[in-house]
Amino acid sequence: MPRVIGIDIPDNKRLEVSLTYIYGIGRKLSLNVIKKLGLDPNMRAKSLTADDVARLNAVLTGRLCCGRRSETPNTE
């Protein structure tokens, strides 16, 4: 299972769904982050490379603090 910001996400689900297993991330934020990183929302989480996981960690660490959103995501 890939581990994103300290949470194991399901590896057999699509990436957009897997990220919603992290407290504070809904479908909209999940899709925004995936789009920002240029990832495919339909890929399985088990297909993430170590670089992809590191990029997800970097983006989500800035958005979440203690399991809550610290700022409103930029949807542009």
In which band, very low, low, confident or very high, does the pLDDT at 1 lie, cut at 50, 70 and 90? confident
pLDDT in tens, 17-74: 999 999 889 999 999 999 999 999 999 999 999 999 999 998 888 766 555 555 555 5
**Cα–Cα separations (whole angstroms), residue 67 to 8, 9, 23, 48:** 14, 15, 6, 23
CB 24 within 8 Å of CB 64:
yes
CB 61 within 8 Å of CB 6:
no
Q: Enter the DSSP assignment of 28.
A: H
Tell me the whole-structure pTM to 2 decimals: 0.77
